[in-house]
Amino acid sequence: MTWLTPLIAGIAAAIAVPSLVILYFLKLRRRDMEVSTTLLWKKAIQDIQANAPFQKLRRNILLILQLLALAAAIAAVGQPQLSGDSTKGDRHIILIDRSASMNAIDGDPKKTTNPATRLEIAKKQAEELVETLREPGVFQKESADQAMVIAFDSTAEVRQQFTSDKSLLKAAIRSITATDGPTRLSEAMRLATAHSKPVVVENRGLVSGPGSVLHLFGDGKMPDALETQPGASDTFMFHRVGGPESGNVAIANVRAERAFDNPSQLSIFVGLQSTMRGPRAVDVELTIDGAVAGVKSVTMPPATSVMPETSNTDKGNEVASGAGATEGEGKPPTPVFTPSTGGVVFPMERVEGALVSVRLRGLDDDSAGNRALSATADVLPTDDAAYLVVPPAKRLAVAIVSARGNLFLSAALDGLPLSRHDVMSPEQFQKVLAEGRGGEYDVFVLDGWTPGPDGDGSLPPGRYVIFNAVPPGAGVVDKGVGGATQIVDWDRSHPVMRSVNLDPLIIGKNRAVEIVKPQAGGAGADVSAVVLASTTSGASIVEARGADWRAVIVPWDLMESNWPFDVGFIVFTAQAVGYVGGSSGGVIGQSQMVQAGSILSDRLPTGAGGVTIESPAGESSRLEAAADGRVVFGPIRATGFYRVSWAGSAGPTDSQRDGRNERFFAANLLDSRESDAASAETLELASRPVAAQDALETKGTRKLWPWFLLGALAVVMLEWFVYNRKVHV
Amino acid sequence: MQRTQTITRPKALEDLLGGDLISKIGGLDIASKKIFAGKLKGERRSKKRGQSVEFADHRPYVTGDDIRHIDWNIFGRLDRLFLKLFLEEEDLSLHVVIDASSSSDCGEPSKFLFMQKAAMALGYVGLVNLNRVAATSMGGTTVSAESSGTIEVEPGEVRQVRDLRGRRRTHDLSRFICSLAPAGPITFRDAAERIALTRRGKGVMVVFSDFFFKDGYEAGLRMLVGHGYDVFCVQVLSPQEVEPPITGDLRLKDVEDGDLAEVTISAPLLKRYKANLAAYCEELRAFCARRDMSLITVKSDTPIDSLLLDYLRKRGVVR
């Protein structure tokens, strides 16, 4: 038991108790009674007083009761409270995970009458935690615990700064709503660390203080937990919500592809994963523009479990070291579950664009053995749906700009389903640009030549595939022509490099380039470049993009390599043109896909005005387009289709409705870690693992002073009763 | 203990002596451990040879003897002068003293009423046996029937009626006793001194009091015990004084001098009080015994006949 204000209670006791006793002597109302003589009484009093100085008080139950009541009241002034054995810290940081997985409802939905999402449970636990915080004393405000509330998914925000006001804290906790974004603990931890209390020690300046107590409420599925580290003096507590056994079937990926040779052939690939312990039958329902276009049933195999490899190596180490310490002996190792994967493909013929949504529906065996669709497939509904914006099939218009002509390029492009395929000289290209007809072509393939820097020192607006040249202001620096080399590594996942094998490629005269980091605030600050393939001497294929241009750059000379004779060159050229040109074939719709929790950022045609964005829930908000037409919205909270509409000129792929141009974006979770709904037993931080607490074990504090006051009241009532009994005897 | 709530003062003899009581005590007589000489020849045999008709002895004549008592028959036979000695019959002086201080006016039944009745009964016994009876009140007021006024008596003052003899003086005695009303404090020593100075002869003195005197009873009793008086002390206590029926926080006020004592009644205090009372009475008894006085302590609810027939007879006051 601790006392918030013991000193004040002591002072009050020192004043009040003697006062009561004195008052008792003074105030005592005695009944007058005439007696024949006081002789014997005085003698008796003298005798008794001689025997016991406080004889008068000893048997006086009224005074004893009053003293008791006073003692209870004074104890209440001292504000005692039962403090638990755990948290003694002054400052608590409450981190609440609001990511998509916190939408999960654990347990059998048929059996739970009052289903609560993990976030609701976490909020309830957090409120209970707030309730156990030490309250400010009536007289000493600084004795209170303080807490701050941080809500995080992939981003983190402070919902309530440090305060000891429990109602504020609870309101902040209650106001947290779930998002559909993935979890990133690191930003929340950075925010928490930034708010931890530094303490000024004389002669030593700022040092870390007594430390904060960090309370993480979540399911513990944090992919970046290993990168985070609480302060050395901080206490980290992981309050787990959700069951470790909860399985989940999720759409791990969704993708639309058009065939290269026939862009009207559209395929929707739906990648699935299951962390269920048993097989799970689901219906995958494809909806195009709101109408169901197809349903496919798939049975997901159970997740494979692997026991952690601890036996052999550890034993060998122990034998070798001779140490007796065995780690984790008391606890059987928990198996590690690897999600099973699966997928379905929906092929179809569709030229027009579409808003495609995919939804999983669970197939449950009812008691009669019939399979019935259930509303939800699993514990987590967020990842049972995925959205995709499929742009209309389009045949690109491509121009090869070459001073000398390039047979290989022309031949490669000839095979592509292009609407237009021109070859022009640099002069003609400049003329086309000068005449403002650059928009007629979707992609310029530049061969051994680049246009000079335009006004901002970068490429003119447009889409480029550049061979045998390094454009200025593209974030890459020409390191000069070198000797023969080979590709050692390439990004196989990039849409441009997919299905391209660069192993046989031998570059005769390599032109090495190096990616330079744009200087913040300087020219080319919005230029970014990524390496798609690299040789021993540096980058060899680069994708670069600026504010209004996009380019795939192959800086070395094709003629000095064996690539034109490789089938990979054809694939590369087709994919690169398709990629920069905004997809006629191959993977489409990626540019209009955004992950929940991230920022939606796109560029509208210049002069777009009255931009509004409409969320899946139908809430509309205004966006201010920058001078170059850039709009930013986010972070995206919910999955679904976001509709950006504006007045003004339209882009080539934009549709129109009610006189306004509109462009759709699909927000998805598509995070396999987040879709693994099983909550973690331990949270592996960089510094140490933190075991989960299922129940709120931090019995922080419990106020006792109201009980003391109640006790005082009860004693006063008893005293009144006794007084009446005594008076009316 | 407490002042008597409903005071009933006796108006006449009938209030003091009932017919029952008279018939019960009619056969009693005042007794004394010694036979005292009296002024009048009464029915009492004195140790003194006197002029009674009952012969006691002869003694030789010496010069100066009353020649009327010479037994001439012996002179005729023996030719020597002998005086005839007779047993002289003497009356016994009974002196009843009542403490009429305010403290006597306490208790249920009233201590003073008890004293009045007891004094009247004793006086009646004395009168019917032709003893010389005197009654004295220490302190108090005297309500005169004629003037319907009250006469206050000083603390040390006494009021007396004396030299009553014979049954017909019973009313005189009762009138005096009925006229008494307790009031104020008394100074026992001064009152005793006055009684000692004014009494004559020798006799039996019965003192009714509670003997609760702030200035002590010793000096007063010492005054009374002298001069050949056989002193009986009857300490009258009310039942409330013996077993105080009080509780709570009290301010006790002495009815005589208004002295205050603040007490919170508790079991130890009551125990202590009773112990003190017992010690006080025992001390008084021991004091009287040392000075050849008799003391009996009675409660005011004791019946008068049992007081006389039982207590006082055992002590030899009456027979």
Whether A431 has its CB under 8 Å from any CB of chain B: the answer is no
User: Which position has the token pair 């009873």?
Assistant: B217
Task: List the single residue in A with minimal CA-CA distance to B216.
Answer: A39
Note whether A665 and A592 are within 8 A (CB): yes
| Beta-carbon separation of A729 and B247 below 8 A | yes
Chain segment A153-179, per-residue pLDDT in tens: 888 889 888 888 888 899 999 999 888
Phi, psi of A705 (to 5 degrees): -65, -30
The CATH T-level fold of domain A85-245+678-699 is Rossmann fold (3.40.50)
Assign domain A591-672 to a CATH class: mainly beta
Q: How far apart are CA A158 and CA A136, in angstroms?
A: 22
CA-wise closest residue to B236 among B123, B129, B97, B128: B97
Q: How far apart are CA B264 and CA A24, in angstroms?
A: 12
> Which residue would you say has higher pLDDT here, B257 or A208?
B257
Angle at A209 between CA A206 and CA A215, to 5 degrees: 135
Q: How far apart are CA A513 and CA A525, in angstroms?
A: 19
- Cα separation of the two ends of chain B: 32
Phi/psi class of residue A418: alpha, beta or left (left: φ > 0; alpha: ψ in -120 to 50)? beta
Q: How far apart are CA A160 and CA A96, in angstroms?
A: 12
Confidence at residue B230, expressed as pLDDT on a 0 to 100 scale: 85
> Which residue would you say has higher pLDDT here, A139 or A272?
A272
Shared fold status for A397-582 and A591-672: no
Q: What is the mean pLDDT of residues A583-604?
A: 76
Q: How far apart are CA A525 and CA A85, in angstroms?
A: 54
| Beta-carbon separation of B107 and A36 below 8 A | yes
Question: How many percent of chain A have pLDDT more than 90?
Answer: 4
Q: What is the mean pLDDT of residues A116-140?
A: 81
Q: How far apart are CA A167 and CA A146, in angstroms?
A: 12
Whether A729 has its CB under 8 Å from any CB of chain B: the answer is yes
Q: Give the model's confidence band at A311: pLDDT under 50 very low, under 70 low, under 90 confident, else very high.
A: very low
Note whether A30 and B251 are within 8 A (CB): yes
Q: How far apart are CA A388 and CA A253, in angstroms?
A: 10
A113 burial level (CB within 10 Å; 0-12, 13-18, 19+): exposed
Length of chain B: 319
Bridge partners of A696? none
Whether A48 has its CB under 8 Å from any CB of chain B: the answer is yes
Q: How far apart are CA B220 and CA B99, in angstroms?
A: 12
Whether A50 has its CB under 8 Å from any CB of chain B: the answer is no
How close does chain A come to B272, measured CA to CA in Å?
Answer: 5
Residue-wise pLDDT tens for chain B (319 aa)? 577 777 778 888 888 888 888 888 888 888 776 655 444 444 555 555 555 556 667 888 888 888 888 889 889 999 989 888 775 555 678 899 999 888 888 888 889 999 999 999 999 988 888 888 999 998 877 765 554 556 666 666 788 888 888 888 898 899 899 888 888 888 888 888 888 888 777 788 999 999 988 888 999 898 888 777 888 899 999 999 999 888 878 888 888 888 888 887 878 788 889 999 999 999 999 999 998 888 999 999 999 888 888 888 888 778 7
| Beta-carbon separation of A37 and B267 below 8 A | no
Among the ranges A18-32, A69-83, A119-133, which has the highest mean pLDDT value?
A119-133
3 state DSSP class of A457:
coil
> Which residue would you say has higher pLDDT here, B202 or A357?
A357
| Beta-carbon separation of B263 and A31 below 8 A | no
Task: List the single residue in B with minimal CA-CA distance to A726.
Answer: B248
Q: How far apart are CA A583 and CA A316, in angstroms?
A: 56
Task: List the single residue in A with minimal CA-CA distance to B245.
Answer: A729
Q: How far apart are CA A681 and CA A585, in angstroms?
A: 45
How close does chain B come to A85, measured CA to CA in Å?
Answer: 49
CA-wise closest residue to A262 among A129, A395, A383: A395
Confidence at residue A318, expressed as pLDDT on a 0 to 100 scale: 41
Q: What is the mean pLDDT of residues A198-218?
A: 66
Confidence at residue A509, expressed as pLDDT on a 0 to 100 scale: 86
Chain segment A621-667, per-residue pLDDT in tens: 998 888 777 888 878 888 899 988 988 877 767 778 888 888 888 98
3 state DSSP class of A542:
strand
CA-wise closest residue to A604 among A635, A643, A650, A642: A650
- For chain A, the 3-state helix, strand and coil shares in percent, each to the nearest 5, are 25, 35, 40
pLDDT at A201 over 60: no
| Beta-carbon separation of A59 and B241 below 8 A | no
Q: Which residues of A touch B269 (CB under 8 A)?
A: 44-45, 48
Burial state string for B144-182 with b = 16 or more CB within 10 A and e = fewer than 16: eeeeeeeeebebbbbbbbeebbeeebbebbbebbbbbbb
Q: Give the model's confidence band at A56: pLDDT under 50 very low, under 70 low, under 90 confident, else very high.
A: low
Residue A591 in tokens: 């540019």
Whether A28 has its CB under 8 Å from any CB of chain B: the answer is yes
Pairing of strands B82-90, A156-163: unpaired
CA-wise closest residue to A356 among A666, A670, A671: A666
Q: How far apart are CA B119 and CA B113, in angstroms?
A: 10
Q: How far apart are CA B84 and CA B68, in angstroms?
A: 9
Q: Which residues of A touch B111 (CB under 8 A)?
A: 36
Note whether A639 and A385 are within 8 A (CB): yes
Q: What is the mean pLDDT of residues A484-495?
A: 87
| Beta-carbon separation of B106 and A34 below 8 A | yes
User: CB-based contacts of B140: which residues, under 8 Å, 6+ apart?
Assistant: B98, B100, B101, B153, B159, B180, B181, B182, B183, B184, B186
Q: Which residues of A touch B115 (CB under 8 A)?
A: none
| Beta-carbon separation of A43 and B276 below 8 A | yes
Question: How many percent of chain A have pLDDT more than 70?
Answer: 81
Residue A565 in tokens: 């004779």
Chain B interface mutation, best of A26, A37, A728, highest count of B Cβ atoms under 10 Å: A37
How close does chain B come to A25, measured CA to CA in Å?
Answer: 11
Q: Which amino acid, one-letter code, is at B7?
A: I
Phi, psi of A150 (to 5 degrees): -125, 125
Q: What is the mean pLDDT of residues A365-369?
A: 58
Within a 10 A sphere around the Cβ of A393, how many other Cβ atoms?
22
CA of B9: how far to CAs of A428, A499, B20, in Å?
A: 152, 137, 20
Note whether B143 and B150 are within 8 A (CB): yes
Confidence at residue A204, expressed as pLDDT on a 0 to 100 scale: 55
> Which residue would you say has higher pLDDT here, A444 or B12?
A444
pLDDT at A319 over 50: no
Residues in B lying within 8 Å of A, measured between beta carbons = 1-3, 102-104, 106-107, 111, 210, 212, 214, 238, 241, 246-256, 259-264, 266-269, 272-273, 276-277, 280
Note whether A691 and A681 are within 8 A (CB): yes
ipTM over 0.85: no
User: Where exactly are the structural domains of chain A?
Assistant: 2-81+705-727, 85-245+678-699, 397-582, 591-672
Chain B interface mutation, best of A28, A31, A38, A56, highest count of B Cβ atoms under 10 Å: A38
DSSP state of B3: B
User: Which position has the token pair 């986010």?
Assistant: A634
CATH of A397-582, one of 1.20.140, 3.30.70, 3.40.50, 3.10.50: 3.40.50
Confidence at residue B155, expressed as pLDDT on a 0 to 100 scale: 67
Chain B interface mutation, best of A40, A45, A63, A729, highest count of B Cβ atoms under 10 Å: A40
Alpha carbon A71 to its chain centroid, in Å, reads 53
How close does chain A come to B276, measured CA to CA in Å?
Answer: 6
Note whether A443 and A464 are within 8 A (CB): yes
User: CB-based contacts of A56: which residues, under 8 Å, 6+ apart?
Assistant: A49, B264
Handedness of CA B304, B32, B319, B16 (dihedral sign): negative
pLDDT at A47 over 80: no
Q: What is the mean pLDDT of residues A398-412?
A: 84
Helical spans, DSSP H, in A157-306: 166-174, 185-195
3 state DSSP class of A729:
coil
Angle at A384 between CA A378 and CA A388, to 5 degrees: 175
> Which residue would you say has higher pLDDT here, A447 or A371?
A447
By Cβ distance, the residue of A37, A48, A726 closest to B248 is A726
> Which residue would you say has higher pLDDT here, A393 or B99?
B99
Question: Whole-model pTM?
Answer: 0.51
Phi, psi of A643 (to 5 degrees): -115, 120
CA-wise closest residue to A581 among A389, A391, A351, A397: A397
Chain segment A209-257, per-residue pLDDT in tens: 567 788 888 888 788 888 887 777 778 888 888 877 777 888 888 888 8
| Beta-carbon separation of A30 and B1 below 8 A | no
CA-wise closest residue to A442 among A326, A539, A585: A585
Note which residues in 593-652 of chain A have CB less than 8 A from chain B: none
Chain segment A7-30, per-residue pLDDT in tens: 888 888 888 888 877 776 665 677
Within a 10 A sphere around the Cβ of B192, how many other Cβ atoms?
25
Q: Please give the mean pLDDT across all residues of chain A.
A: 79
Q: Which residues of A touch B104 (CB under 8 A)?
A: 36
Q: Which residues of A touch B238 (CB under 8 A)?
A: 36
How close does chain B come to A59, measured CA to CA in Å?
Answer: 7
Continuous segment of H or E residues that includes residue A551: strand A549-554
Q: What is the mean pLDDT of residues A602-606?
A: 79
By Cβ distance, the residue of B253, B264, B277 closest to A34 is B253
3 state DSSP class of A611:
strand
Note whether A407 and A384 are within 8 A (CB): no
| Beta-carbon separation of B261 and A41 below 8 A | yes
Whether A47 has its CB under 8 Å from any CB of chain B: the answer is yes
CA-wise closest residue to A691 among A120, A236, A243, A228: A236
Note whether A151 and A274 are within 8 A (CB): no
Q: How far apart are CA A206 and CA B233, in angstroms?
A: 98
User: Where exactly are the structural domains of chain B?
Assistant: 13-36+91-315, 44-90
pLDDT at A340 over 90: no
User: CB-based contacts of A117: which residues, under 8 Å, 6+ apart?
Assistant: A102, A103, A104, A105, A178
Q: How far apart are CA A100 and CA A669, in angstroms?
A: 8
Q: Which residues of B touch A39 (CB under 8 A)?
A: 212, 214, 254, 280
Whether A54 has its CB under 8 Å from any CB of chain B: the answer is no
Q: What is the CATH number of domain B13-36+91-315?
A: 3.40.50.410
